[in-house]
Amino acid sequence: MTIHSSKHQDDVDKNARSSYFNLPALDISVAFPQATPASKFPPCASDYYQFDDLLTSEEQAVRMKVRECMEKEIAPIMVEYWEKAEFPFHVIPKLGALRVAGGTIKGYGCPGHSVTGAAIAIAEIARVDASCSTFILVHSSLAMLTIALCGSEEQKQKYLPSLAQLNTIACWALTEPAYGSDASALNTTATKVEGGWILEGQKRWIGNSTFADVLVIIARNTATNQINGYLVKKDAPGLTVTKIENKIGLRIVQNGDILLKKVFVPDEDRLPGINSFQDTSKVRLLCSKFL
Ligand SMILES: Cc1cc2nc3c(=O)[nH]c(=O)nc-3n(C[C@H](O)[C@H](O)[C@H](O)COP(=O)(O)OP(=O)(O)OC[C@H]3O[C@@H](n4cnc5c(N)ncnc54)[C@H](O)[C@@H]3O)c2cc1C
């Protein structure tokens, strides 16, 4: 009988594990030949409540434009990216061309859709892929809406036009490792210093954060104990974002753990309209219309 030392067994396990993890993404058509390929996305054939009749011609046009793009461009590749848990960055220009980011926001290069038009666009995206709609919702309905509702005129002019075209991407960071549903108790701090603020703390589960150009960070003002909002650039010294791996749902959404270590934010990047937790709730309430 051969007896392996525990060290040898560890090596065997490690080798077995690493070869398993290095396998290429599953080829769905080979592994599950009975499955319907995503490239043959089922047609949208029924309208039981004659919902279409309730839409204006503009809303119907938005719906068809988004549907066509999602079925043609996105459906065929989503399974592959789901398997890899990666984001298909090459589709961002196609989503940008749909002019849905910014939803109901008027001016600043945003589409200014009706609430129904904006919601129907998100519903069409979610029909094909829920990760894709989460990407747009976080970017548009959380981050862009926060800037539109709570930003200064200069901030709106500076950030919204390129966010609307998806030339730059945003995320919105409220949740923390110790505070999710009870987010009003959050721990991340903002301390006033000359010319700006110092942010310290952690955020968790933040969608788009691994590649966002602009991060909306919600933090507690150490002088007032109230909640404030800040715009942090992706290359800010002291900012680290780590991708959360091994999710079982919404695998294409790139969720990140954010670490803020003495991150300096200049005064002009504090959102003047967020002075309490209720102010962040205004955005979340509006956003819930699209969820
Ligand atoms: C894919 C994904 C994307 C996300 N994107 C973002 C983002 O972009 N920005 C961001 O800030 N956050 C984001 N989040 C975080 C998300 O908002 C939190 O997960 C959510 O607020 C819940 O917090 P939690 O995970 O800590 O759960 P918990 O608060 O620990 O809740 C766990 C469970 O307990 C229940 N529960 C909690 N408190 C109570 C109570 N008092 N009474 C009864 N039941 C209760 C909840 O309903 C839930 O079922 C994302 C999460 C996911 C999964």
Domains of the chain: 55-164 (1.10.540.10), 170-274 (2.40.110.10)
Q: Is 118 in the pocket of ligand 1 (CB under 6 A)?
A: no
* Position in ligand 1 atom list of the atom nearest CA 208: 8
54-109: pLDDT as tens digits: 999 999 999 999 999 999 999 999 989 999 999 999 999 999 999 999 999 999 99
pLDDT for res 44: 79
Quote the ligand 1 centre to 180 CA distance (angstroms): 4
Q: Is 287 in the pocket of ligand 1 (CB under 6 A)?
A: no
Arithmetic mean of pLDDT over the chain: 89
Determine the Cα–Cα distance for residues 160 and 42; give it in Å rounded to an integer: 35
Quote the ligand 1 centre to 181 CA distance (angstroms): 5
**Positions of the chain with pLDDT under 70:** 1-22, 26, 28-29, 34-40, 286-291
pLDDT for res 201: 98
- Give the pair of three-digit tokens for residue 107: 């001016």
pLDDT for res 12: 56
Residue nearest to atom 37 of ligand 1 (CA): 181
pLDDT for res 263: 98
* Position in ligand 1 atom list of the atom nearest CA 249: 1
Q: Is 206 in the pocket of ligand 1 (CB under 6 A)?
A: yes
pLDDT for res 4: 47
Q: Is 180 in the pocket of ligand 1 (CB under 6 A)?
A: yes
Quote the ligand 1 centre to 50 CA distance (angstroms): 35
